[in-house]
Structure 1
Amino acid sequence: MRHGRTMIIAGAALAMALPALAHAQGFDVEAATRAYVDTLHGAARAKSDAYFEGGYWMILWGALVSVATCWILLRFGLSARFRDWAERRTKRPALVAALYALPYIVTATLITLPWTIYAGYVREKHYDLMSQDFSGWAGEQAIGLGIGIVTTALLLAIIFTVIRRAPRLWWLLGAGAMTVFIAIGLLIAPVFIAPLFNTYSEMPAGPVRDRIVAMAAANHVPAEHIYVFDASKQSKRISANVSGLGPTIRISLNDNLLNRASPPEIAAVMGHELGHYVLRHIWWLIGMFGLLFLAGFWLVHRIAPALIARHGPGWRVRGVDDPAATPVFFGIATVLGLLATPITNSMIRTSESAADAFGLDAAREPDGFALTAMKLSEYRKISPGPIEEMLFFDHPSGETRVRMAMRWKADHMGEAPAK
């Protein structure tokens, strides 16, 4: 923490010194970028790199744990027992699939619990990224379990209904249903899901709010409500978002951003978030993920029947329209998701980079943007190689973002920030 405060102070001093240097000597983008990047050094940089690079292996191990869980549920007949239990309670196929989700999710959660505790709590604590004690973290996991049961029940009821009614084209209709399901989730999450984990309150009046409102108005973003949520109870990470769809659209920023960042930094972050809304990234990502769902469902449609034909009798899985086949679907989807990681990361990173460029134009705070990128680099590797960034980064790296900010600064030298 001491080094973190030192880095913030050094960065603020650097931000004040760079304009004078620029006017006096001409602005060197690479030198300015290096000056910012070098404020993260020594033990703090090694810790950030170790955390993020360890995350590469966490992706792989997480996928292996998920696949192993699916295998256990099939190999020991647990999935078939869950189906039998559901069928004893109702004869309606859609309700059978929905009821199946209860024991399925609970059992899978228990099997993966040691991994979940390590990945979600122990490792985060080890790297000083977790503010909660274990009971607080476990309580939120319990809330997530409840949400998972409900959403999985709805999803399985829809998917297996589609499979029964369109056995040849279920992959096509299923991909469409999944895309709509995700869109509905994005619609209701800000109102019904997010408040289960954090308290949201209207941002108090003041210069910071006034500037956010002015930027929103200048870019035609609804700003009737601007919320602050208490993310500091979970971690020290800074974040903000323009979330929701249609009537649920709202601007939110967490208390860490307000408490750890200066007004120029806050403006830079909010300019970025407004960019996501103006550039319609939520719709673009829904469309792109819809295409991925289409490819994924087609592959599941091709692979699952072969696996069930070969192993189904031992698993007591009757066919692809049997809810007991759920672990087969989830196992295949996990492997496909792992293989698609570079694609999904690149899709998201592309939209994030576009929002960065928009935010620089909207807020006109390149040094505020650079300082924010350095704060995010407390837990994101600051200077990856190009292939590493392409494969594993779903946001531009800190060095990439600082360089973008310094290029913007060089192109707009002497212009005043947006007010």
Structure 2
Amino acid sequence: MRNPGAMGLALAGATLALPARAAAFDVDHATALYLATLGPVARARSDAYFDGRVWIDIVSSLLTVLVCWMILRSGVLVRCRDALRRSGYRPWMVMLTVSVLFLVCLTLIELPWTILIDFVRERRFGLMNQSFGGWLGQQAIAALLTLILGGGLLTVINAVMRMFPRHWWLVGAGVVGLCVALLGLVAPVFITPLFNTYTELPAGPLRTRIGAMAAANAIPAENIYQFDASRQSNRISANVSGLGPTVWISLTDNMLKQTTVPEAVAIVGHEMGHYVLGHVWRDVVFVTLLSALELWLLAKLGPMAIALGGRRRAVRGIDDPAALPVLVGVLTGLSLLFLPITNTQTRLAESEADAFGLNAAREPDGFAASAMKVSTYRKIAPPAIEEALFYDHPSGLTRVRMAMQWKKDHVPGAKEVTPPPLPNP
């Protein structure tokens, strides 16, 4: 029997010496060979990046709650509401204007923190390709979209509150679900081109393989694009986005530069899994149900939050336009509380797409190699409890092991490979 010490790499440990080759195909040993391609410097860097990101997400949510409380206490929304009402504006116009003012205040107050975590930190870890001016320009586009879409959604939710005072949370959840579905429909056509340039993927072995996979799984393959994600970062990714007539397959130029055809096909096969398995619609249902729970809790907690904010007399209820900081602050806190649930739901869908992609592409080594390449910014082998709570994707260890198990089960005479080491950051 092979000596376990010869593995040289505990699958969830920190030692990264290259394991000795096993005499026959062994899932754990083949997995260890792939994990050994991530050197100690790169592994320490990816662990630090991911661990920091978890804490940053928590702090960001708490910061949003604090800023909402500050805006509520300032009374600026109360004064804006009263001025608009005295001028005779209709309720929906009052709500829309107050919503835009609130979102502008929230964005500007949080801007220094956003610069620190989304530009400075990303550049420090070598994941940011944009200049500060380019990054700020795209942030401005995103902020404008937030004002338009967010302000519109808040206005509709407020109208629902006034029309259905007892069951607004239930109707409001339906509105949220409908908006998520509509966004999935229009985003590929109207939103993503605002940030990147899309061009047809040229003919060649990769497009041929993608077209064959799409045809085998009844996926529309008329629109297969590449886009210039390298202008933002070095990350590799692909997606099958849109609904109905707006479905298209898109690959980043980073992926075309940094992966082999088997690796790229494995990634696209995973993305096709989301489409074929109906994950978009399942996500819409999940978001609708979770929104119903969060809005119901908001209806219960909102009056208490208004009282704690010291604006009980000026803000007359949760349907008051000036109560927007309460609505957003409470929902942000609830989203943080329910984060393990949303992570689990997303992670399960990603795991299902992984299994689909392995069956569709039949490239287990390509899948394992691509999983290792994204591990340069994702913690490769977290403790099980950490993966369950904080991961919205399976860890690299989980994905590589799944690929090697698939290889053992489906490839006659499966042989281990010794992949080349990944470059140090």
- Normalised TM-score (structure 2): 0.90
1:412 to 410, 419, 422: 410
Q: 1:126 aligns with which of 124, 128, 143?
A: 124
Distance in 2 of aligned mates of 1:293 and 1:212: 36
CA drift of 1:307 comes to 2.8
**8 Å Cα contact 1:98-1:152 kept in structure 2:** no
* Aligned match of 1:164: 162
How many positions carry a matched residue from both structures?
Answer: 395
- Corresponding residue of 2:192: 194
Q: Distance in 2 between matches of 1:310 and 1:125?
A: 39
Per the TM alignment, residue 197 of structure 1 is displaced from its structure 2 partner at its CA by 0.4
- After TM superposition, give the deviation of residue 305 of structure 1 in Å: 2.2
Which stretch of the first structure deviates more once superposed, 343-352 or 301-310?
A: 301-310
| 1:130 positional shift | 0.4
Within the candidate set 42, 46, 49, 1:48 is matched to 46
Q: How many Å separate the matches in 2 of 1:343 and 1:378?
A: 26
C-alpha distance 31-315 of structure 1, shift in aligned 2 (>3 A): farther
- Judged with a 3 Å threshold, the aligned counterparts in structure 2 of structure 1 residues 374 and 119 are, in CA distance, closer, same or farther, namely same
Cα drift, residue 306 of structure 1: 2.8
Matched with 2:58 is 60
**SS at 1:378 equivalent:** coil
**1:328 maps to which residue?**
326
Structure 1 residue 79 corresponds to structure 2 residue 77: yes
Q: Which residue of 1 aligns with 2:3?
A: none
Q: Trace 1:115-264 onto structure 2 (pairs within 5 A).
A: 115-264=113-262
Q: Which residue of 2 aligns with 1:366?
A: 364
Cα distance in 2 for partners of 1:233, 1:279 equals 32
1:102 CA drift (Å) = 2.0
The equivalent position to 1:306 in structure 2, one of 271, 291, 304, is: 304
Question: Which 5+ residue runs of structure 2 have no aligned equivalent?
Answer: 1-18, 415-425
Contact kept? 1:80, 1:315, Cα under 8 Å:
no
CA apart distance, 1:181: 1.1
Cα distance change of structure 1 residues 75 and 30 upon mapping to structure 2, 3 Å threshold? same
Provide, for residues 273-297 of structure 1, a one-character-per-residue CA deviation record: whole Å limited to 9, x for no partner: 1111110011111111111101101
Q: What is the alpha-carbon distance in structure 2 between the residues aligned to residue 242 and residue 334 of structure 1?
A: 29
Cα gap change, 1:174 to 1:38, in 2 (>3 Å): same
Higher relative contact order (Cα pairs below 8 Å, separated by 6+ residues): 2
Secondary structure (helix, strand or coil) at the match of 1:163 reads: helix
Read off the aligned partner of 1:172 and give its amino acid letter. Answer: L
TM-superposed deviation, 1:133: 0.8
TM-score (norm 1): 0.91
- 1:235-273 deviations in Å (ceiling 9; x for gaps): 000011111111111111110111100000011001101
Deviations 1:100-138 (A, max 9, x none): 222211111111011100111011011001000100000
CA distance in 2 between partners of 1:260 and 1:402 (Å):
18
2:383 counterpart (382, 385, 409): 385
Distance (Å, rounded) in 1 between the aligned partners of 2:313 and 2:326: 10
Partner SS, residue 227 of structure 1: strand
* Structure 2 Cα separation of the partners of residues 261 and 403 of structure 1: 20
DSSP 3-state at the match of 2:37: coil
- Aligned partners of 1:79 and 1:327 also within 8 Å: no
Alignment equivalent of 2:25, drawn from 27, 32, 36: 27
SS at match of 1:252: strand
Give the deviation of 1:69 after TM superposition. 0.9
Q: Matches of 2:78 and 2:413 in 1, distance apart? A: 67
Look up the match of 1:12. none
Cα distance per residue 1:337-378 (max 9 Å; x no partner): 001111100000000000000000000000000000001100
| Equivalent residue runs for 1:84-99 within 5 Å | 84-87=82-85, 91-99=89-97
Question: Distance in 1 between the 2:208 and 2:313 partners?
Answer: 61
The answer on whether the counterparts of 2:46 and 2:377 sit within 8 Å (CA) in structure 1 is yes
Contact 1:76-1:315 within 8 A present in 2 as well:
no
The residue type equivalent to 2:395 in the other structure is S
- Higher mean displacement: 379-388 or 86-95: 86-95
Letter in 2 for 1:111: I
Match of 2:362, as an amino acid? Answer: R
State the distance in 2 between where 1:26 and 1:310 align: 66
Report the 3-state secondary structure (helix = DSSP H, G, I; strand = E; otherwise coil) of the residue aligned with 1:112. helix
Describe the SS at the equivalent of 1:111.
helix
Match of 2:278 among 267, 277, 280: 280
- 1:90 shift after superposition: 5.2
Change (3 A) 1:309 1:208: same
- What one-letter code is carried by the residue in structure 2 that aligns with 1:220? A
The question of whether the paired residues in 1 share the 8 Å contact of 2:69 and 2:309 is answered with no
Q: CA RMSD in A?
A: 1.7
Q: Distance in 2 between matches of 1:26 and 1:398?
A: 23
Deviation at 1:27, TM superposition (A): 0.7
* 3-state secondary structure, aligned to 1:201: strand
Q: Residue type matched to 1:221 in 2?
A: I
Question: Using the alignment, how far apart are the partners of 1:347 and 1:89 within structure 2?
Answer: 47
Structure 1 residue 70 corresponds to structure 2 residue 65:
no
| Corresponding residue number in structure 1 for 2:268 | 270
Query: Which secondary structure does the structure 1 equivalent of 2:367 belong to?
Result: helix
Contact 2:73 2:309 survives alignment (8 Å)? no
5+ residue gaps, structure 1, are 1-17
Structure 1 residues 224 and 41: CA distance shift in structure 2, 3 A: same
SS at match of 1:128: coil
Closer/same/farther in 2, CA of residues 394 and 89 from structure 1, 3 Å limit: farther
Shift of 1:88: 5.3
Note closer, same or farther for the CA distance 1:227–1:84 as it changes in structure 2 (3 Å cut).
farther
Letter of the 1:75 counterpart: R
